[in-house]
Amino acid sequence: MRRARRSLKVDLWMIRSLLMAAAIAAVLSLDSRGFAQTASPSPTGSENAAPTADNAILLTIFLKHDQSRPLSELNAQLEKQGFYKAFPPAGVEVVSWYVMMGVGQVVTLRLAASRLREVNRIFETTAWGAYRTEFYPTYDYKQIGVANHDKAQAK
């Protein structure tokens, strides 16, 4: 019983460490020179809105493989469901896209907040079944954090 509890604590610690590493990688990969390519405006409004300094969010997505099935089967399902045709949608910037061995894939996007539902629906309709998903929306804090650090150093 103690061994199982200790193993669970180690597993939770590893998951938290991986989440933190992914978040740190996302923050470090931010480029302050610009945002995603702009998409042409849609007739219905903001669903193709490009991220700007005042509306951009980062979205880290964990795509956890169904390890009970072989990769070829998962890829066939993704193709059948149109995942790679739909994702990423035009105007959404892929900041990073990594394979995390033993887990699946970790994708970080930069997008306008108004497009969050659109991205979620793509995963619901084209990725579920091959992946279990987890979403972590964040925002760019670098400028504020650096300013706070500089202010504290000046004291």
Distance CA 12, CA 141 (A): 26
Residue 40 confidence (pLDDT): 38
Residue 36 confidence (pLDDT): 37
CB 60 within 8 A of CB 138: yes
Residue 141 confidence (pLDDT): 85
| Cα angle 112-121-31, degrees, rounded to a multiple of 5 | 30
**Segment 69-104, tens digit of pLDDT:** 999 999 999 999 999 999 999 999 999 999 999 889
CB 83 within 8 A of CB 16: no
- Strand order through the sheet with 104-112: 93-100, 104-112, 56-65, 131-138
Q: Which residue has the tokens 């989440």?
A: 19
Residue 30 confidence (pLDDT): 43
pLDDT less than 70: residues of the chain: 1-48, 53
